[in-house]
Amino acid sequence: MRFRLLVIVLFCSITASVKAQLYPVFSQYYFNELMINPAFAGAHVQFSATATYRNQWINFPGAPRTLSFTAHSSFFKGKVGLGLMVNEDKIGSYANQDITMSYAYKIKFPKATLSFGIQGMLYMINADFSSLKLKSTGDPEFVPYNEVVPNVGAGLYYHRKNFFAGFSVPYLINSKFTSSGLQTSGTGLEQFRNYFLRSGAIFKLTTNGNIKANPSIMVRFQEGQPLSMDLNNSFIFYDVFSAGVSYRSGDAIISMVSLKLSEKLYFNYSFDFTSSGLAPFSSGTQEIMINYRAKITSAHKNLGCPTYHNYRE
Q: Is the dihedral of CA 240, 300, 85, 20 positive or negative?
A: positive
Q: Is the pLDDT of residue 170 over 60?
A: yes
CATH of 2-300, one of 3.40.50.10490, 2.40.160.40, 3.90.600.10, 3.10.440.10: 2.40.160.40
Please tell me which residue, 154 or 137, carries the higher pLDDT value: 154
Residue 3 pLDDT: 38
Residue 267 pLDDT: 97
pLDDT band at 238 (very low <50, low <70, confident <90, very high): very high
Q: What is the mean pLDDT of the chain?
A: 83
Global confidence as pTM: 0.84
- Write out the H or E segment, with its range, that includes residue 156: strand 145-159
Q: Is residue 213 a contact partner of residue 205, using CB atoms and an 8 Å limit?
A: yes
**CB contact set of 25 (below 8 Å; sequence gap of 6+):** 54, 56, 64
One-letter amino acid of 192:
F
When pLDDT is averaged across residues 245-255 and rounded to a whole number, the result is: 91
- Residue-wise pLDDT tens digits, 100-140: 999 999 999 999 999 999 999 998 887 766 666 666 665 65
Residue 302 pLDDT: 83
Residue 82: exposure state from Cβ atoms within 10 A (0-12, 13-18, ≥19) = middle
Q: Is the pLDDT of residue 143 over 80?
A: no
- Residue-wise pLDDT tens digits, 11-22: 443 333 334 345
DSSP 207-275: TTSSEEEEEEEEEEEETTS--EEEEEEEEEETTTEEEEEEEETTTEEEEEEEEE-SSSEEEEEEEEEE-
Please tell me which residue, 74 or 130, carries the higher pLDDT value: 74
Residue 183 pLDDT: 44
Q: Is the pLDDT of residue 209 over 80?
A: yes
Residue 24 pLDDT: 74
Q: Is the pLDDT of residue 309 over 90?
A: no
Q: Is residue 158 a contact partner of residue 112, using CB atoms and an 8 Å limit?
A: yes
pLDDT band at 173 (very low <50, low <70, confident <90, very high): confident
When pLDDT is averaged across residues 37-54 and rounded to a whole number, the result is: 95
Q: Is residue 198 a contact partner of residue 221, using CB atoms and an 8 Å limit?
A: no
Q: From the centroid of its chain, how far is CA 211?
A: 27
- Residue-wise pLDDT tens digits, 256-307: 999 999 999 999 999 999 887 776 667 788 999 999 999 988 888 888 888 8
Q: Is residue 301 a contact partner of residue 39, using CB atoms and an 8 Å limit?
A: no
